[in-house]
Amino acid sequence: MADSQNPPSLLVAEEEGGGGKGLPSKKAAKKEALKAEKAMRRQQEEAAAAAAASLSLEADPLAGNYGDTPLADLQSKEVSGRRWTEIQLLVEELKDEEVLIRGRAQTIRAVGKNMAFVVLRRMGFTVQCVVTAAPELVSRQMVKFAAGLSRESIVDVQGIVTVPGVPIKGASQQVEVQVRKIYCISRAAPNLPINIEDAARSEKEIEEAKLAGETLVSVGQDTRLNYRVLDIRTPANQGIFRIQSQVGNMFRQFLLAENFIEIHTPKLIAGSSEGGSAVFKLEYKGQPACLAQSPQLHKQISICGDFGRVFEIGPVFRAEDSYTHRHLCEFAGLDVEMEINEHYFEVMDIVDRLFVSMFDSLNEQCKKELDAIANQYPFKPLKYLRKTLKLTFQEGVQMLKEAGIEVDPLGDLNTESERKLGQLVLEKFDTEFYMLHRYPLAVRPFYTMPCYEDPTYSNSFDVFIRGEEIISGAQRVHVPEFLTARAEACGIDVKTISTYVDSFRYGAPPHGGFGVGLERVVMLFLALNNIRKTSLYPRDPTRLAP
């Protein structure tokens, strides 16, 4: 901890070397410790008082079996050897066994004074816990305590597993727990800004209720994001971010198996960059700097540095004022760069096999998550071929033309044409995942390799899911003199890219690569309507919190 890398402060203070500086001097330690102790005691007394008040203070010989756990008992007091059972593991085989479980009180319902039901939730699984007053076992005060829990509080329950004769509707697990002891570990504020039930409701349910004359609460996207800590507890959101984790994992495992290595390149880049408004600028120790809009430069240097095949997963920053359903100011970029022997098809082949195997794995290994998501946001499984369809840009333009849509054959496709082409491809080839290659050179970055036989076109490709672009890739120009010529032809001041061009002067293998937006892949695989649904804490031009 004697580490000057320590951030002095709070939230931003991370673990490695965290702490120390900025805090009171060592001499103040004792004083501070006393203060802390006082604060804790006050805390505990308040909790005890609140608990007592809520229970109308009748003397209860069974009082030790329930209550708010004092903070002191949650401060790593002991390693007791107790075992908590995961809620998802509560099954009929455990009948009559005593279990200890921890979860959130999702719903609480009292039935008279002698019975209460508490549905506990953990990681998207729920179980019904039953508190029934019984002599020498469960007091009415305990029933009252359970009934008085606030929703979303964290609760420890000790009890006996039973199997009711009828199916349980309000919980995922088909057993109940007959409560013997119940303790509140952490009490949630009584008024939640979002009810999980409301946040978990599908549009369909709201519509159907409306037809029946009822009004159900619908939680808007912005409210969700403002209270993300509650919003992400819904089964759909639990599913979405488990899928996201899996996509990243599949991406890496596939590439590692193909002899790629993972690299980490700097996000702090010298210069203010040509990008202008699209770039976040900052001062770096007195020098102008900006945040990387992609690892393009560094992944190419890595190839020229003989790593052969590299990939990176890291944040990408775009300062543009885009207020669409699919743009973010910060997102997770999946980037790949590799030597090629002779053709950019080698890169497209990696994309093909990587994504087909990823889709396969998601469908096979994430069934539960996919179901949870589909419950709230219904979608049809993605249609894709065993061998991914490749069309040239010219073929795409021709298909559009035949469907009565004229596009500039040397221009770019706009979002609408891309969607339309997606539809046409689906009708003709029965796939929602395909690659379009050989784009006009003029619509690609200057470092894109032109086509051999017609430099109006380029050795480049885009990849689409459900009519929306998720990947862009190409063979790069690896010859420094030609790269300079291309930059000049594109009106770029060559002085500003000298580091880049110089990387190719010491022998540069032919190479290519591509970039993917993680949030987009997840959004489009799941046919979600907004990229904010697949970004854990999204950043857009108007959102910088939480």
Which candidate in 176, 337, 418, 469 is catalytic?
469
Nearest to 175 by CA among 90, 266, 250: 90
Name the catalytic one among 320, 346, 395, 468: 320
Based on CB atoms, which residue is closest to a second copy, 355 or 439? 439
Instruction: Give the whole-angstrom CA distance, residue 185 versus residue 163.
Output: 27
Instruction: Pull the structure tokens for residue 374.
Output: 């589909």
- Judged by CB under 8 A, the residue of 90, 141, 152, 224 near a second copy is 152
Q: Which is nearer to a second copy, 315 or 378 (CB)?
A: 315
Q: What count of other Cβ atoms lies within 10 Å of the Cβ of residue 498? A: 10
Clarify whether 37 is annotated catalytic. Answer: no
Determine the residue type at 314: G
User: Is residue 415 classed as helix, strand or coil in its secondary structure?
Assistant: helix
Selected binder of a second copy within 51, 94, 449, 523 (CB under 8 A):
449
Choosing from 207, 229, 325, 383, the residue that interacts with a second copy (CB under 8 A) is 229
Task: Concatenate the DSSP letters of all residues of 154-185 into one string.
Answer: EEEEEEEEE--SS--SSSSSS-EEEEEEEEEE
- Torsion (CA) 405, 409, 414, 416 in degrees, nearest 10: 20
Residue (147 or 421) nearer to a second copy, CB: 421
Cβ–Cβ under 8 Å, residues 192 and 230:
yes
Is 118 among the residues that bind a second copy (CB under 8 A)?
no
Answer yes or no: 320 catalytic: yes
Helices (H), 17-99: 29-54
Question: C-alpha distances in angstroms, 529 versus 166, 321, 485, 515, 533?
Answer: 38, 19, 42, 22, 8
Q: Does 443 bind a second copy (CB under 8 A)?
A: yes
Q: How far apart are CA 125 and CA 109, in angstroms?
A: 19
Q: Which of residues 388-427 bind a second copy (CB under 8 A)?
A: 408, 410-415, 417-418
- Of 133, 174, 223, 327, the one binding a second copy (CB under 8 A) is 327
Q: Is residue 221 involved in binding a second copy (CB under 8 A)?
A: no
The region that residue 304 occupies, defined by phi over 0 for left and psi between -120 and 50 for alpha, beta otherwise, is alpha
C-alpha dihedral sign at 197, 198, 204, 207: positive
Which of positions 461-480 make contact with a second copy (CB under 8 A)?
A: 462, 469-475, 478-479
216 binds a second copy (CB under 8 A): no
Q: 60 or 468: whose CB is closer to a second copy?
A: 468
Of 482-521, binders to a second copy (CB under 8 A) are: 482, 485-487, 489-492, 496-497, 499-500, 503-510, 513-518, 520
Q: Using CB under 8 A, count the residues that bind a second copy.
A: 218
Q: Which of residues 97-116 bind a second copy (CB under 8 A)?
A: 102, 104
Structure tokens at 287: 């020098």
466, 511, 520, 532: which one is catalytic?
520
Alpha-carbon torsion 453, 439, 264, 275, what sign? positive
Listing DSSP states for 60-87 in one string gives -TTGGGEEEPPGGGGSS-------PPPG
**Residue 379 or 482 with smaller CB distance to a second copy:** 482
Residue 296 binds a second copy, judged by CB under 8 A: yes
Identify which range of 91-99, 174-182, 207-215, 272-280 contacts a second copy by CB under 8 A: 272-280
In this chain, which of 114, 221, 287, 529 binds a second copy, going by CB under 8 A? 287
CA–centroid distance for 255 within its chain: 21
- The span of 132-140, 170-178, 373-381, 438-446 binding a second copy (CB under 8 A) equals 438-446
CA–CA dist 225, 193 (Å, integer): 12
Does residue 258 carry a catalytic annotation?
A: no
- Pick the piece of the chain touching a second copy (CB under 8 A) from 90-98, 109-117, 119-127, 206-214: 119-127
CB 162 within 8 A of CB 178: yes
Instruction: Specify whether the CB–CB gap between 334 and 369 falls below 8 A.
Output: no
Least gap, CB of 6 to a second copy (angstroms): 8
State yes or no: residue 302 binds a second copy (CB under 8 A): yes
- Half-sphere exposure at residue 67, Cβ-oriented, CA atoms within 13 angstroms: 19
Distance (Å, whole) CA 171 – CA 167: 10
Min dist. Cβ of residue 428 to a second copy (A): 21
CA 543, CA 545: separation in Å to the nearest integer? 6
> Which of the residues 242 through 261 are near a second copy (CB under 8 A)?
242, 244-245, 248-249, 252, 256, 261
Determine the Cα–Cα distance for residues 461 and 470; give it in Å rounded to an integer. 11
Residue 17: how many other CB atoms lie within 10 Å = 15
Complex with a second copy: residue 97 or 488, whichever CB lies closer: 488
Q: Give the footprint of a second copy on residues 49-88 (CB under 8 A).
A: 71-72, 74-80, 82, 84
- As measured in angstroms, the least distance from the Cβ of 19 to a second copy is 4
Instruction: Give me the 329-368 binding string for a second copy, x by CB under 8 A, dash otherwise.
Output: xx-xx-x----xxxxxx-----------------------
Residue list 122-151, contact with a second copy (CB under 8 A): 122-124, 150
CB of 210 to a second copy, least distance (A): 29
Of 108, 199, 236, 319, which one interacts with a second copy (CB under 8 A)?
319
Ranges of beta strands (E only) in 388-451 are 389-392, 433-437
Cβ closer to a second copy: 434 or 514? Answer: 514
- Residue 151 has what DSSP assignment? T
Residue 478: CB partners within 8 Å, gap ≥ 6?
Answer: 504, 508, 509, 510, 511
326 is catalytic: yes
User: Does residue 282 bind a second copy (CB under 8 A)?
Assistant: yes
In the residue annotation, 395 being an active-site residue is answered as no
Site string for a second copy, 168-187 (x = CB under 8 A): -----------------xxx
Say which of 326, 438, 444, 486 is annotated catalytic.
326
Contact 107, 119 (CB under 8 A): yes
Residue with smaller CB distance to a second copy, 139 or 540: 540
Q: Say which amino acid occupies 337.
A: E
Rounded Cα gap, residues 221 and 533, in angstroms: 8
Catalytic residue positions, numbered: 318, 320, 326-327, 469, 472, 520
